[in-house]
Amino acid sequence: MRPATARDVPAITAIYNDAVRTTTATFDLEPRSLAAGRGWFRSHGRRHPVLVAVRDGVIVGWASLSPWSDRPAYDRTAEVSVYVDAGARGRGIGRRLLARLVREGGRRGLHTLLARVADGNAVSLRLHTSLGFVRIGVMREVGTKFGRLLDVHLLQRTYPTRSSVRPRRPGGSGSGRRD
């Protein structure tokens, strides 16, 4: 596994386009052009890395952190994406990519990671929950793909911060009670 480079964009785009054509992992309906793939790659910066998994010199999967929103209040929130080549699925590549994304998000000062998983993708739901994501809701019938209305599960993983932990009072139990 390594950070992606601009030279990796054709392989990343090919894996993504296979998912567009054959899965509900993305709600894109048309394959992405190579030019669009390059633009997508350039939109990721230091805080939002793109990673690739390489086996025998061939890219077999990729993952990225993307801004959740362009509004400044969401600056510490990112969305995760993980895609594995069809011939390489079931070998732990997605798990390793997502685990690395979780570590990278923490290193980059993010507070919250979000994932959207279409109904019917039990493998992805299990993967995310096994790495600390919690289901926080279901958006009902928000997308149509392959002639079906699909629900999307929203999952969240939050990094602990000092502000989310109540400080203990010196010499006390932290309860604030005086005996």
Where along the chain do its domains lie? 2-161
Confidence of residue 112 (pLDDT cuts 50, 70, 90): very high
Confidence of residue 64 (pLDDT cuts 50, 70, 90): very high
Backbone angles phi, psi at 143, to 5 degrees: -140, 150
Residue 161 has what pLDDT?
76
Confidence of residue 174 (pLDDT cuts 50, 70, 90): very low
State the Cα–Cα distance between residues 15 and 9, nearest whole angstrom.
Answer: 10
Backbone angles phi, psi at 108, to 5 degrees: -95, 10
Give the CATH number of domain 2-161; options: 3.40.50.620, 3.40.50.720, 3.40.462.40, 3.40.630.30.
3.40.630.30
Find out whether 26 and 19 touch, Cβ atoms under 8 Å: yes
State the Cα–Cα distance between residues 162 and 135, nearest whole angstrom.
Answer: 24
What is the average pLDDT across 138-156? Answer: 96
State the Cα–Cα distance between residues 131 and 134, nearest whole angstrom.
Answer: 9
